[in-house]
Amino acid sequence: MYDHLRSVQNGSVNNGVARKDSVLPRLVDTEHTPRTKDMKRPEPSAHTGKPDTAIFEALEKLGYTPYHMSTAQHHQPSRHDLTLWNSLLRAKSRFTNNKNTSAAGTPITCADFDKFLTDYDALTDLPASFFAEELVAAYPDTKVILTTRDSKGWAKSVRNTIWAWYRSPSYRFLAYFDGKLIGPLQEVLGLFFEVFCGGDTGKPMVEAYEAHNDLARRVCEGLPEGRFVE
């Protein structure tokens, strides 16, 4: 899944193109908010689509307080959640590609997630699905739901929705002028497509989707029986 992290190792993404610059500090280190709910169900699921929305709504009905991509967008202007996720993804990139070197930086831990996911006890959809390994390690008592679908059908859905939106001239225009919401959201999508499939929404994205599901299964192999559902 993370074969393309090297392309954003020490930089950010602008309009889907990795930009090399100096190693950035971790924005999450500036947050100091105590957790108010125990994390019960982070979900390294398919990255986007109707299954994630259905799971989000189901978790709400079961009494959870789930976190979704729409939640990040809602909080962005005042609490800069999208900016924090982007910072964490760049930190993950540096750590993954520079292990055992001074450039690796600090690994992402439970304390990092708790700084801005304090009011939530469940996670689904992007950007959280980038961090399946870190989330399961951070919350070892969690329950995990992996939602899957036909990989080619999923890729087609992505091309017709968020890819088309991300590539549209009007969206790029808005991202350029709106640095509080649309700009950070543009960066999330740019990082997603670059990291996930190298910006290629054809066969590489289909293969990346299947690899992501295999990664989620491997990550959850050590969980007690009943804590992983597919």
Number of structural domains (the chain) is 1
Q: Are 213 and 144 in contact (CB under 8 A)?
A: no
pTM score above 0.85: no
CB 218 within 8 A of CB 144: no
The residue with greater pLDDT, 59 or 7, is: 59
- φ/ψ of 218, rounded to 5, equals -65, -40
Question: In percent, how much of the chain has pLDDT > 90?
Answer: 30
The model's confidence at residue 20, banded by pLDDT at 50, 70 and 90, is very low
Partnered with residue 13 across adjacent β-strands are 18
- The rounded mean pLDDT for the chain is 79
User: Cα separation of 105 and 118, whole Å?
Assistant: 24
Tell me which residue range forms the domain holding 128.
3-15+24-229
**Nearest one of 143, 149, 136 to 206, comparing CA atoms:** 149
Question: Hey, what long-range contacts does 165-173 have (CB within 8 A, 24 or more apart)?
Answer: 165/189, 166/16, 166/190, 166/193, 167/16, 172/15
Quickly list DSSP for 141-172.
T--EE-----HHHHHHHHIIIIIHHHH-HHHH
Report residue 214's pLDDT band, with 50, 70 and 90 as the boundaries: very high
The span from the CA of 203 to the CA of 85, in Å, is 27
Tell which residue, 157, 150, 147, 148, has the closest CA to residue 201.
157
Tokens representing 95 are: 């750590």
How many of the other CB atoms lie within 10 Å of CB of 170?
8
> Is the per-residue pLDDT at 223 higher than 70?
yes
Q: Which of 228, 19, 200, 55 is nearest to 141 (CA)?
A: 228
The Cα 134–Cα 158 span in angstroms is 25
Q: What is the pLDDT of residues 166-181, one digit of tens each?
A: 999 998 999 999 988 8
Tell me: pLDDT of 6 over 60: no
Question: 118: domain CATH number?
Answer: 3.40.50.300
**Is residue 44 very low, low, confident or very high in pLDDT (cuts 50, 70, 90)?**
very low
**Residue 63's closest CA among 45, 43, 37, 44?**
37
Q: Report the sign of the C-alpha dihedral through residues 24, 27, 29, 30, in that order.
A: positive
End-to-end CA distance of the chain: 19
**Stretch 139-143: mean pLDDT, rounded?**
88
